[in-house]
Amino acid sequence: ASMPLPEVSHKRVVLLFDCDCFYAQCEMLEHPEWRKKPLAIKQKYLVVTCNYVARKSGVRKLQSLEDAKLRCPDLIIVDGSDLTKYRAVSMRVFNVLKRFGGAAAKHERLGMDEVFVDVTRAAEEDREDEPRLMGHLFQPDPAAVRAARTLRAELNFREAPAADAKAEQSDSGSEDGDWVRDYRETASPDDAKAALADEQLCDCGCQKRLARASKIAAEARMALFKEIGLTVSCGVSTSKMLAKIAAGLNKPNKQTTLLPQHALALVHALPTRVIPGLGFGVASALRELHPPVFTCADLAREGVRPLERLLRATLKSPPAGLAKDLWQRSLACDTDAVKPFSG
DNA sequence: GGCTCACACT
DNA sequence: TAGTGTGAG
């Protein structure tokens, strides 16, 4: 009612490239004989990352070395406290990615192993009318879509390009429906899911822009593999938050497109920690509330004012506007811009 | 603007 | 872990 509604537009196109187990891959570049063996990188007495062979034996990030060795007795352990070579590989990755997305693209580094790229302009200017969607497409299940719809109704919240305005022009506009049905590469969905996807189509052109972007992502990933020998996972969506979440859906060495009209169905049930800017402290405080706030849907229902109070009680000096930003992100609306020249 | 601190990010 | 980045004051 009196809550400010999130601004939702699908106009941006954001990629997130996330190097798979970055330090471990760097070590395997120097030692190809380790590729098929379980490999962990340690700092002090902690495993900071490990390759996917090691993960099959239950080795995990931030495990104690002791635990890791118990789970995987033949684990190869490399000290990773000298970051020099990782920094060098990281810069090579960034320099390759800078070639993609055209002159108007913006590239932002996050840590050593992640790069955001805003490819809005390139995706708009692409002439291709029926771009092939590369990689995976996230498809919500019907229950998640129903839950998202309920949440939207509860909060009286409508997405900018209306999904229901489409019903009236259903006989004229079958081309978009065919386009999605024919070009997705995920495992073939059942009829219910296909119907669901068609029902949720958006007419702002975001599907085509995201598909064009998925091609840029595929080309960039190929270049990284050929020129450096690294595999990366990639998320393709309309904001940094959604691209990051999408990248995590299929790993390693896969890319995933998340259509903005499916974002709430994905986000609503996820823990509040998926929201960038909402860290360990705030997430813990939210869980202590009664009733406890666990998921993004819980946080969305909580509203801005109670969140402001919690931030004041939890943080030393909460940045202005943080509550509003976090609350909007709980509804999958993230307007944080890709900031160029951060590397 | 520059310093420290708290907090979040990898 | 070993850093980097950000906003508040």
Domains of chain A: 1-20+84-343 (3.30.70.270), 22-83 (3.40.1170.60)
Nearest nt to the CA of A277 via C1' is B8
Q: Residue A185 catalytic?
A: no
Tell me the pLDDT tens digit for each residue of A144-157: 999 999 999 888 77
Q: Is pLDDT above 90 for A313?
A: yes
Nearest nt to the CA of A343 via C1' is C4
List the catalytic residue out of A114, A124, A125, A227: A114
> Mean pLDDT over residues A66-71, rounded?
94
Q: Which nucleotides of B are covered by protein (CB under 7 A)?
A: 6-10
d(CA A46, CA A77): 11
Q: pLDDT-based confidence at A128, cuts 50/70/90?
A: confident
What Å value separates CA A278 and C1' C9? 22
Q: Quickly list DSSP for A243-286.
A: HHHHHTTS-SS-EEE--GGGHHHHHTTSBGGGSTT--HHHHHHH
> Mean pLDDT over residues A108-135, rounded?
94
Tell me the pLDDT tens digit for each residue of A154-205: 887 766 544 333 333 333 333 343 333 333 344 334 433 444 455 567 889 9
Query: Measured between alpha carbons, how far apart are the two ends of chain A, in Å?
Result: 42
What Å value separates CA A341 and C1' C8? 24
The set of residues with CB closer than 7 Å to nucleic strand B is A 18, 110-114, 244, 273, 275-282, 314-316
Return the pLDDT at A182. Answer: 31
Please list, in sequence order, all residues whose beta carbon lies within 8 angstroms of the beta carbon of residue A26, skipping any fewer than 6 positions away: A85, A86, A89
d(CA A253, CA A258): 17
Which CA distances in Å does A90 have to A17, A24, A49, A245, A289? 12, 13, 16, 21, 41
What Å value separates CA A314 and C1' B7? 11
Return the pLDDT at A200. Answer: 63
d(CA A247, CA A238): 13
- From the C1' of C4, which residue's alpha carbon is nearest? A111
d(CA A340, CA A120): 14
Task: Indicate if CB(A292) is under 7 A from strand C.
Answer: no
Return the pLDDT at A156. Answer: 76
Return the pLDDT at A191. Answer: 39
d(CA A89, CA A112): 9
> Mean pLDDT over residues A64-83, rounded?
95
pTM: 0.89
Tell me the pLDDT tens digit for each residue of A245-264: 999 999 999 999 999 999 99
Nearest nt to the CA of A317 via C1' is C8
Q: Which nucleotides of C are covered by protein (CB under 7 A)?
A: 1-3, 5-9
Task: Indicate if CB(A44) is under 7 A from strand C.
Answer: yes
